Amino acid sequence: MVTISRIQAGHYSVSDGRSIVKQGSGWYILTGEGKHDFGPVTTLASAKEYVRSGSVHVGQHNPASRYGRKQGRKEYNAYLASEAKQGNYAPLILTVLAMAVVAFLIELARQS
């Protein structure tokens, strides 16, 4: 189990040598050499979850607000990236197929 300790505002150290850094509106996980490991994720809690388990789960955001929709999209994209990094491409493939079907149906409706 890894432990995470706060160094200063926006900077956290992980016991396995990685670090969590806030940059702009997202959190990034960096390797021990300071190279990009994963990110951006929406919250510090999501970054900590990725460090501990290797995946990011989609949280509950308020779809009625613009901010909630934006955070939901960012978190879903982080989830797709974490699954693909682990070798599970099924969620990414299903998302792309669903987008292709929707685009096809929209084009079909325009021609009618």
pLDDT tens figures, 80-110: 998 999 999 999 999 999 999 999 999 999 9
Please say whether the beta carbons of 86 and 92 come within 8 A: no
Q: How much is the pLDDT for 60?
A: 72
Write down the pTM of the prediction: 0.66
17: left (phi over 0), alpha (psi -120 to 50) or beta: left
Residue spans of the chain under pLDDT 50: none
Only one residue has tokens 């493939």, namely 93
Q: Per the omega criterion (within 30 degrees of 0), is the bond before 40 cis?
A: yes
CA 27/CA 19 separation, integer angstroms:
10
**Contact by Cβ (8 Å): 56, 49:** yes
| Dist CA 14 CA 96 (whole Å) | 34
